[in-house]
Amino acid sequence: MAITTKQKIGWSTANLVVILVSFVPVLWIVSLSLKDPSTITDGSFWPRKWTWENYSGIFKTSEFTHALVNSIGIAIISTVLAVTVASMAAYAIARLRFPGKNVIVNTSLLIAMFPTISLVTPLFNIERSLGLFDTWLGLIIPYVTFGLPLAIFTLSAFFREIPSDLEKAAKVDGATPFQAFTKVIAPLATPGMFTTAILVFIFCWNDFLFAISLTSTVRARTVPAAIGFFTGNSQFESPIGSIAAASVIITIPIIVFVMLFQRRIVAGLTSGAVKG
Amino acid sequence: MTTTQTVVPPRPVPATTAKPETKSHLTSAARAERRLGWMLCAPAVIVMLAVAAYPVAYSVYLSLQRYDLRFPDQAKFIGLGNYTAVLSSPYWWDALVNTVIITIASVAIELVVGMALALVMQRTLIGRGLVRTAILVPYGIVTVVAARSWQFAFTPSTGYLSKLLGNGAPLTHHGSALAIIILAEVWKTTPFMALLLMAGLALVPDDLQNAAKVDGATAWQRFTHVTLPLMKPAILVALLFRALDAFRIFDNIYILTSGGHDTASVSILGYDNLFTGLNLGIGSAISVLIFVCVALIALLFIKGFGAAAPGADLRN
């Protein structure tokens, strides 16, 4: 089928619109973060007077630097835990025959659809009595739980793409099923695990409701929560510049992931859900 | 974990070299597989039960108590009192109406825009990677950051969009604020919808499209009579995921309006009762009611799915 010039122009315009609409809100927050405080309310899309002040300002406050350390630490630990636990379950679901598999698939599905607020209320009370409130662990626990269904679904899709002949060959060579999993399948599944890790990390990095409900100080408050509560460097300063700068900083890792691993993220997002 | 329901052979079958695949061999292999399956799933199941199932049960228990954190010594069992209080409060019904409006509007817009986007991504020959990278930006960006961007864009005198809806503060009027909340929600989650739909589009065979074309079907007819029916399972899955996700909307509203000007969703109402009202009983009752709503939505969809329910291929 030949493609006419008219069609080419049509699709290219559509592409351009998509790219513009995706980037405009991001560019706007970048622009705000670079605006000099005196020009922040000028309503112009681009900064008329540039400055790095907003960035140097937020790095002087413990409110932001602590939050950044908390965000990075909590997201990485939660991701590693969720992917490790999920990869075992996903392998079992994708490959092994055992009674009770349905229960596990249904439970994961239920949790994936669970309204977060319904868990916030009881967790708030439980964590206060266990001394987990406002700690890293207090956030890691719900993140792992909600990351698990996402990780299990994505990973079982990846595991099923690995030819089962490989395990059979390993078993013929005398490997136990557990050895077949750790020595043969797990290494082959590394790309899938990596992709899953990115998706789970984005989920933890993004969370706001748990972050504002289960923390109260800089001890465990993450950047999204800090951005929600930011009051600026001093009470006389408008916090818009600071909020924008903090927003840009936590968007950088996302943009890097998206640029480097676009193909993997698309594959990961679509594999788990659509085959169902 | 050591007891299994496997039927043990009445007596050991003598091992023979001629027939290595005896029944006893198969059974023990199957038993080992079973045990491994349970062992591998145990950590995930324990975590999910401890952190999701137990708190849910606990929140049902809390919802039956009078439990105000400001007066903890007055806590006592009051049966369905909290539910009567919530269900007879106009705040609950306003929040429910808002949530339903936001859910229906954003999911409907996302379905149409997402379908268009999926078609664009599928057909595009030049710059395919660029478009996909671009749409992953809204998907990946932290919701609070995106919400702040929209908030500042509509802030009078600061924002580049503030003049769009006349002079005034669009975020302080019920109608325009709801519209901005829906816009923020649609911008953020249409990419996810589009990716799910694109994967569904890939399952429509080209042959069918070509056959319909030979028969003289227009592009629109091919879309409505060939593509859409074949994509029904993918569309239902995408709609289910998004509807349940939109129903629990919190971040966007919290940042954009904090639920002011009558824009609260049910999640915002629950949060406010817990952290501003410090009323665990009422907060838990709202949580349980939201859970019931979500379960109803899921049930409704799963009836529509039939055999194509998500995760069906993962079941035995």
Verify whether the Cβ–Cβ distance B43 to A85 is below 8 Å: yes
Cβ atoms of residues A214 and A127 within 8 Å? yes
Cite the residue boundaries of each domain of chain A with CATH code 1.10.3720.10. Answer: 56-274
- Chain A residues closer than 8 Å to B155 by CB: 240
Out of B144, B196, B315, name the one closest to residue A105 (CB).
B315
Q: How far apart are CA B183 and CA B257, in angstroms?
A: 14
| Selected residues 141-180 of chain B with any CB under 8 Å from a CB in chain A | 141-146, 148-150, 152-153, 155, 157-160, 162-163
Buried b (16+ CB within 10 A) or exposed e, A143-153: bbbbbbbbbbb
Q: How far is B51 from chain A (nearest CA, A)?
A: 7
pLDDT of residue A171: 81
Verify whether the Cβ–Cβ distance B158 to A97 is below 8 Å: no
Tens digit of each residue's pLDDT (9 = 90 or more) over B139-174: 999 999 999 999 999 988 888 887 776 667 888 888
Question: Residue A20: is its pLDDT beyond 60?
Answer: yes
Q: How far is B105 from chain A (nearest CA, A)?
A: 19
Q: Furthest-apart CA pair in chain B: how many Å?
A: 91
Verify whether the Cβ–Cβ distance B125 to A18 is below 8 Å: no
pLDDT of residue B22: 47
- Chain B residues closer than 8 Å to A202 by CB: 140
Residues A211-215, mean pLDDT to the nearest whole number? 93
Domain made up of A56-274: CATH architecture:
Orthogonal Bundle (1.10)
Lowest mean per-residue pLDDT among A23-37, A200-214, B219-233: B219-233
Verify whether the Cβ–Cβ distance B148 to A243 is below 8 Å: yes
pLDDT of residue A130: 93
Domains of chain B and any CATH numbers: 55-88+279-308 (no CATH), 101-277 (1.10.3720.10)
- Chain A residues closer than 8 Å to B152 by CB: 28-29, 32, 240, 244
Q: How far is B196 from chain A (nearest CA, A)?
A: 6
Model confidence band, residue A71 (pLDDT cutoffs 50, 70, 90): very high
Which residues of chain B have a pLDDT value below 50? Answer: 1-23, 316
Question: Residue A119: is its pLDDT beyond 90?
Answer: no
Q: How far is B140 from chain A (nearest CA, A)?
A: 6
Residues A4-23, mean pLDDT to the nearest whole number? 85
Verify whether the Cβ–Cβ distance A276 to B145 is below 8 Å: no
Model confidence band, residue A263 (pLDDT cutoffs 50, 70, 90): confident
Return the residue of B nearest to A248 by Cα. B145
Tens digit of each residue's pLDDT (9 = 90 or more) over A168-185: 888 888 888 788 878 888
pLDDT of residue A202: 93
Verify whether the Cβ–Cβ distance A257 to B140 is below 8 Å: yes
Model confidence band, residue A269 (pLDDT cutoffs 50, 70, 90): confident
pLDDT of residue B9: 45
Averaging pLDDT over each range in A104-113, A246-255, B52-61, which range is the top one?
A246-255
Verify whether the Cβ–Cβ distance A115 to B287 is below 8 Å: yes
Averaging pLDDT over each range in A33-42, A118-127, B39-48, B118-127, which range is the top one?
B39-48
Q: How far is B33 from chain A (nearest CA, A)?
A: 6
Question: Residue A233: is its pLDDT beyond 60?
Answer: no
Verify whether the Cβ–Cβ distance B134 to A99 is below 8 Å: no
Q: How far apart are CA B192 and CA B238, in angstroms?
A: 8
Residues A97-119, mean pLDDT to the nearest whole number? 84
Integer angstrom CA distances of residue B35 from A92, A185, B44: 10, 18, 15
- Assign 3-class secondary structure to chain A: CCCCHHHHHHHHHHHHHHHHHHHHHHHHHHHHHHECHHHCCCCCCCCCCECCHHHHHHHHCHHHHHHHHHHHHHHHHHHHHHHHHHHHHHHHHHHCCCCCHHHHHHHHHHHHCCCHHHHHHHHHHHHHHHCCCCCHHHHHHHHHHHHHHHHHHHHHHHHHHCCCHHHHHHHHCCCCHHHHHHHHHHHHCHHHHHHHHHHHHHHHHHCCHHHHHCCCCCCCCCHHHHHHHCCCCCCCCCCHHHHHHHHHHHHHHHHHHHHHHHHHHHHHHHHHHHCC
pLDDT of residue B305: 67
- Chain B residues closer than 8 Å to A226 by CB: none
pLDDT of residue A237: 58
pLDDT of residue A102: 84
pLDDT of residue A225: 93
Cβ atoms of residues B240 and B310 within 8 Å? yes
Q: How many CB pairs under 8 A join A and B?
A: 321
Q: How far is A206 from chain B (nearest CA, A)?
A: 5
pLDDT of residue B17: 45
Taking the Cβ of residue B38 and every Cβ of chain A, the question of whether any pair is shorter than 8 Å is answered with yes
Question: Residue A261: is its pLDDT beyond 50?
Answer: yes
Question: Residue A133: is its pLDDT beyond 90?
Answer: yes
Verify whether the Cβ–Cβ distance B141 to A254 is below 8 Å: yes
Q: How far apart are CA A270 and CA B228, in angstroms?
A: 18
Q: How far apart are CA B284 and CA A159, in angstroms?
A: 39
| Selected residues 213-242 of chain B with any CB under 8 Å from a CB in chain A | 233-234, 237-238, 240-241
Verify whether the Cβ–Cβ distance B52 to A114 is below 8 Å: yes
pLDDT of residue B313: 59
Verify whether the Cβ–Cβ distance B43 to A89 is below 8 Å: yes
Verify whether the Cβ–Cβ distance A121 to B283 is below 8 Å: yes
Verify whether the Cβ–Cβ distance A88 to B160 is below 8 Å: no
Residues A91-114, mean pLDDT to the nearest whole number? 85
Question: Residue A88: is its pLDDT beyond 50?
Answer: yes
Residues A206-222, mean pLDDT to the nearest whole number? 92
Residues A145-157, mean pLDDT to the nearest whole number? 90
Report which of B161, B149, B132, B155 is spatially closest to residue B187, judged by C-alpha positions. B149
Mean pLDDT of the residues in chain A:
87
Comparison of pLDDT for A206 and B304, the residue scoring more: A206
Q: How far is A42 from chain B (nearest CA, A)?
A: 6
pLDDT of residue B307: 52
Q: How far is A231 from chain B (nearest CA, A)?
A: 13
Return the residue of B nearest to A199 by Cα. B140
Verify whether the Cβ–Cβ distance B44 to A205 is below 8 Å: no
pLDDT of residue B312: 59
Verify whether the Cβ–Cβ distance B51 to A274 is below 8 Å: no
Return the residue of A nearest to B146 by Cα. A25
Out of B137, B148, B150, name the one closest to residue A23 (CB).
B137
The Cβ-side half-sphere exposure at B229, using a 13 Å CA radius, reads: 7
What is the full DSSP assignment across chain B?
A: -----PPPPSSPPPP-SS--S-HHHHHHHHHHHHHHHHHHHHHHHHHHIIIIIHHHHHHHHHHTEE-BTTSGGG-EE-TTHHHHHHHT-HHHHHHHHHHHHHHHHHHHHHHHHHHHHHHHHHH--SSHHHHHHHHHHHHHS-HHHHHHHHHHHTSTTT-TTTTTT-SS-GGGSHHHHHHHHHHHHHHHHHHHHHHHHHHHHTTS-HHHHHHHHHTT--HHHHIIIIIHHHHHHHHHHHHHHHHHHHHT--HHHHHHTTTTTTT--HHHHHHHHHHTS-BHHHHHHHHHHHHHHHHHHHHHHHHHHGGG-TTGGG--
